[in-house]
Chains A and B, each alone.
Chain A
Amino acid sequence: MNATAPLQKSDSCLLRPGNTNCGGCGMSVGLTMLGRALAEANDSCSLVIPACCGIVTAGAFPTTSYGVPTIAATFASSPAVASGYASVRDLNDEPGQVICWAGDGGTYDIGLATLSGAAERNENIIYICYDNEIYGNTGGQRSSATPIGARTTTTPTGKSEAKKNIMAIMTAHGIPYAATLSMAHPEDFSRKLATALSMTGMRFLLMHSPCPTGWKSEPEDTVELVRIAVASGLFPVYEVFDGARYRVTVEPDGSDPAEYFHRQRRFKDEDIDLDATRRSCVDRIHRLRMLAREYPV
Chain B
Amino acid sequence: MTVQVVTGNHAAGYALSAAGEANRTARGAACGIYPITPQTEIVEYVARFPFSKARIVPVESEHSAMAVSIGASLAGARAFTASSSNGLAYMTENVMVAGYYRLPIVMVAVNRTLGPPWNIWADQGDTLMLRDFAWLQFYCESNQEVLDTTLLAFRLAEDRRILLPVLTCMDAFIVSHTQTETTLPEQALVDSYLPDLQLPHRLRYDEARTIGGMVWPHEDLSQRLEIDEAMKRVPDVYQECRQSFRDVFGRDPGDVIQTDGTDDADTVLVATGTMATTAREVVRKRRAAGEKIGLIKIKMFRPFPAAAIREACGSARRVAVLDRNYAAGSGGVFWQDTRAAFQGHRNDVLIQNYLTGLCGEDVTPSVIDQILADLASREVAGDPVWMGIETGKETLQ
Extra contacts besides A80-B67, A121-B59 (7): CB < 8 Å: A55-B213, A71-B203, A77-B63, A83-B59, A91-B28, A113-B60, A113-B64
**Bound Cα distance A53, B290 (Å):** 70
Contacts of A70 in B (CB 8 A): 208-211, 213
Pair A84/B32 contact, Cβ less than 8 Å: yes
A-B CB contact pairs (8 Å), 10 listed: A3-B208, A61-B215, A61-B216, A81-B74, A87-B68, A87-B75, A87-B77, A89-B75, A90-B55, A113-B61
Asked if B207 lies at the interface with its beta carbon under 8 angstroms from chain A, I say yes
Asked if A94 lies at the interface with its beta carbon under 8 angstroms from chain B, I say yes
Contacts of A6 in B (CB 8 A): 206-208
Pair A69/B61 contact, Cβ less than 8 Å: no
Contacts of B214 in A (CB 8 A): 55-56, 58-61
Min CB distance B294 to A, Å, is: 45
Pair A92/B28 contact, Cβ less than 8 Å: yes
Pair B210/A3 contact, Cβ less than 8 Å: yes
Contacts of B209 in A (CB 8 A): 3-4, 64, 69-70
Asked if B186 lies at the interface with its beta carbon under 8 angstroms from chain A, I say no
**Bound Cα distance A68, B77 (Å):** 20
Pair A121/B74 contact, Cβ less than 8 Å: no
Asked if A114 lies at the interface with its beta carbon under 8 angstroms from chain B, I say yes
A51-88 residues with Cβ-Cβ distance < 8 A to B are 55-56, 58-62, 64, 66-74, 76-77, 79-88
Pair A117/B213 contact, Cβ less than 8 Å: no
Pair A74/B59 contact, Cβ less than 8 Å: no
Chain A: CB-nearest residue to B54: A91
Asked if A5 lies at the interface with its beta carbon under 8 angstroms from chain B, I say yes
Please tell me which one of the listed residues A58, A60, A86 contacts residue B216 in the complex, with CB atoms under 8 A apart: A60
Asked if B30 lies at the interface with its beta carbon under 8 angstroms from chain A, I say yes
At the interface, is chain B mostly helix, strand, loop or mixed? mixed
Min CB distance B19 to A, Å, is: 16
Chain A: CB-nearest residue to B24: A91
Pair A71/B205 contact, Cβ less than 8 Å: no
Q: Kindly supply a per-residue 1/0 record for chain B positions 18-55, scoring 1 wherever the CB is within 8 Å of any chain A CB and 0 otherwise.
A: 00000000011011100000000000000000000111
Asked if A254 lies at the interface with its beta carbon under 8 angstroms from chain B, I say no
**Bound Cα distance A3, B93 (Å):** 26
Which size class do B's interface residues fall under?
A: 35 or more
Pair A71/B211 contact, Cβ less than 8 Å: yes
Asked if B184 lies at the interface with its beta carbon under 8 angstroms from chain A, I say no
**Bound Cα distance A71, B79 (Å):** 17
Min CB distance A157 to B, Å, is: 33
Contacts of B93 in A (CB 8 A): 74
**Bound Cα distance A96, B213 (Å):** 21
Chain A: CB-nearest residue to B78: A88
Q: Kindly supply a per-residue 1/0 record for chain B positions 62-92, scoring 1 wherever the CB is within 8 Å of any chain A CB and 0 otherwise.
A: 0111011111111111010000000000000
Pair B67/A74 contact, Cβ less than 8 Å: yes
**Bound Cα distance A96, B205 (Å):** 7
**Bound Cα distance A97, B50 (Å):** 28
Pair A84/B68 contact, Cβ less than 8 Å: yes
Asked if B57 lies at the interface with its beta carbon under 8 angstroms from chain A, I say yes
Knowing A61-B215, A70-B211, the reply to whether A91 touches B60 (Cβ < 8 A) is no
Pair B210/A83 contact, Cβ less than 8 Å: no
Chain A: CB-nearest residue to B93: A74
Asked if A48 lies at the interface with its beta carbon under 8 angstroms from chain B, I say yes
A87-122 residues with Cβ-Cβ distance < 8 A to B are 87-92, 94-96, 113-114, 116-117, 120-121
Asked if A7 lies at the interface with its beta carbon under 8 angstroms from chain B, I say yes
Pair B71/A48 contact, Cβ less than 8 Å: yes
Contacts of A88 in B (CB 8 A): 27-28, 30, 55, 71-72, 75-77
Knowing A4-B208, A7-B206, the reply to whether A60 touches B60 (Cβ < 8 A) is no
**Bound Cα distance A90, B71 (Å):** 13
Asked if A9 lies at the interface with its beta carbon under 8 angstroms from chain B, I say yes
Min CB distance B167 to A, Å, is: 19
Contacts of A114 in B (CB 8 A): 60-61, 63-64, 67
Please tell me which one of the listed residues A48, A84, A95 contacts residue B205 in the complex, with CB atoms under 8 A apart: A95
Asked if A217 lies at the interface with its beta carbon under 8 angstroms from chain B, I say no
Asked if A46 lies at the interface with its beta carbon under 8 angstroms from chain B, I say yes
Pair A59/B71 contact, Cβ less than 8 Å: no
Contacts of B58 in A (CB 8 A): 121
**Bound Cα distance A72, B71 (Å):** 10
Min CB distance A163 to B, Å, is: 24
Min CB distance B228 to A, Å, is: 19
Min CB distance A103 to B, Å, is: 16
Pair A83/B68 contact, Cβ less than 8 Å: yes
Residue among A59, A69, A95, A116 with the most chain B CB within 10 A?
A: A69
Residue among B61, B79, B212, B216 with the most chain A CB within 10 A?
A: B212
Asked if B94 lies at the interface with its beta carbon under 8 angstroms from chain A, I say yes
Asked if B204 lies at the interface with its beta carbon under 8 angstroms from chain A, I say yes
Asked if A28 lies at the interface with its beta carbon under 8 angstroms from chain B, I say no
Asked if A44 lies at the interface with its beta carbon under 8 angstroms from chain B, I say yes
Residue among B59, B71, B76 with the most chain A CB within 10 A?
A: B71
Q: Kindly supply a per-residue 1/0 record for chain A positions 20-36, scoring 1 wherever the CB is within 8 Å of any chain B CB and 0 otherwise.
A: 00000000000000000
Asked if B128 lies at the interface with its beta carbon under 8 angstroms from chain A, I say no
Knowing A81-B71, A84-B32, A88-B27, the reply to whether A64 touches B208 (Cβ < 8 A) is yes
Chain B: CB-nearest residue to A81: B71
Pair B208/A69 contact, Cβ less than 8 Å: yes
Asked if B219 lies at the interface with its beta carbon under 8 angstroms from chain A, I say yes
Please tell me which one of the listed residues A11, A64, A84 contacts residue B31 in the complex, with CB atoms under 8 A apart: A84
Knowing A58-B213, A59-B213, A84-B68, the reply to whether A76 touches B207 (Cβ < 8 A) is no
**Bound Cα distance A7, B204 (Å):** 10
Knowing A69-B208, A74-B97, A96-B205, the reply to whether A117 touches B71 (Cβ < 8 A) is no
